[in-house]
């Protein structure tokens, strides 16, 4: 038979365990806003108003891309890996709803940086991973490696003979060719880590973080991308894919919103 003292100890233990299980999480929300710019200005689409470092005059009609493995890094060094959509987000200038991404239940604290993969990691970049549009509209041909485009920038550029030519700046899995045949597939995704300024996540609040893509940076640092050299289609041109991958280091920046 349990003594009164033993019963009291059992009750105290039960309440203690209940309290641990029901301890209130101190969490807030983070809204990521993706902004597409050229030289710090909002993009005007369908207008031949831009010039890159190689002197190409160009216009953009569509900009689409994936980010994945999205992670917030706190002041203490701990990492909050985003569970929403397995850390993958698709951005499309024609779909306003894709330009904002709400991350819920982020732990309270100061966050010093954000990290993500531009494109998709190999274990996600598999044909059939996305079953619904708009994501599955980004399919990359199986013959060229399968999976999905990392990015599509579609537009036109003014060639040296003053003719307006279409371009499809499409990045994804690359290929190495020998004697007209593919001998190797190349993963061209890359990781981006950006500093955050005054990013504090607090309980029952929304912290707004802007991630800016500056399109002209794809064309100038550290390499100049010239449409006259690479033409309007680069899906089978690993040299161009590598150039854009290396230029991607300066494409993104962050800004905080109230």
Residue 149 neighbours by CB under 8 Å, 6+ apart: 64, 66, 138, 139, 140, 170, 171, 172
Residue 95 neighbours by CB under 8 Å, 6+ apart: 134
Q: What is the pLDDT of residue 6?
A: 55
Query: For residue 229, what is the enclosing H or E element?
Result: helix 227-230
Does the CA dihedral 95-100-102-106 come out positive or negative? Answer: positive
Tell me how far CA of residue 225 lies from CA of 35, 129, 192, 236, in angstroms: 22, 31, 20, 16
Q: What is the pLDDT of residue 256?
A: 87
Q: What is the pLDDT of residue 75?
A: 87
Query: For residue 245, what is the enclosing H or E element?
Result: helix 238-247
Q: Are strands 27-38 and 206-214 parallel, antiparallel or unpaired?
A: parallel
Determine contact, residues 105/56, Cβ cutoff 8 Å.
Answer: no
Q: What is the pLDDT of residue 18?
A: 45
Q: What is the pLDDT of residue 257?
A: 79
SS3 121: coil
DSSP 137: G
- Partners of 255 in the beta sheet? 210
Q: What is the pLDDT of residue 204?
A: 85
Determine contact, residues 158/48, Cβ cutoff 8 Å.
Answer: yes
Q: What is the pLDDT of residue 26?
A: 80
Dihedral pair phi/psi, residue 93, rounded to 5° = -65, -20
Residue 252 neighbours by CB under 8 Å, 6+ apart: 118, 192, 194, 211, 212, 213, 214
- Mean pLDDT by groups of 10 residues along the chain of 258 residues: 55 49 71 96 97 98 98 92 94 98 93 97 97 98 98 97 95 96 97 95 93 98 97 96 98 90
Dig out the tokens for 178 from the structure: 């020998």
Determine contact, residues 68/51, Cβ cutoff 8 Å.
Answer: no
Determine contact, residues 230/240, Cβ cutoff 8 Å.
Answer: yes
- Partners of 102 in the beta sheet? 31
Dig out the tokens for 23 from the structure: 């301890």
């Amino acid at each position: 038979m349990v003594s009164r003292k033993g019963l009291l100890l059992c009750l105290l233990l039960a309440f203690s365990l209940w309290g641990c299980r029901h301890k209130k999480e101190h969490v807030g929300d983070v809204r990521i806003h993706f902004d597409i710019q050229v030289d710090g200005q909002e993009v005007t689409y369908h207008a031949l108003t831009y010039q890159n470092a190689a002197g190409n005059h160009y216009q953009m009609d569509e900009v689409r891309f994936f980010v994945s493995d999205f992670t917030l890094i706190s002041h203490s060094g701990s990492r909050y890996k985003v569970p929403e959509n397995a850390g993958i987000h698709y951005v499309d200038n024609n779909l306003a709803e894709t330009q904002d991404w709400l991350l819920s239940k982020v732990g309270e604290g100061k966050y010093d940086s954000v990290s993500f993969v531009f494109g998709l990691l190999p274990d996600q970049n598999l044909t059939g991973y996305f079953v619904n549009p708009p994501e599955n509209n980004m399919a990359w041909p199986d013959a060229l490696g399968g999976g999905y485009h990392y990015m599509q920038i579609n537009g036109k550029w003014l060639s040296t003979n003053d003719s307006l030519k279409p371009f499809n700046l499409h990045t994804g899995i690359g290929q190495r060719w020998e004697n007209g045949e593919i001998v190797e597939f190349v993963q061209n995704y890359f990781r981006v880590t950006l500093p955050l300024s005054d990013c504090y996540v607090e309980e029952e609040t929304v912290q707004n973080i802007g991630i800016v893509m500056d399109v002209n940076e794809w064309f100038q640092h550290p390499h100049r991308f010239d449409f006259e050299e690479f033409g309007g289609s680069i899906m089978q041109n690993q040299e161009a894919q590598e150039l854009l991958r290396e230029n991607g280091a300066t494409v993104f920046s962050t800004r905080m919103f109230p």
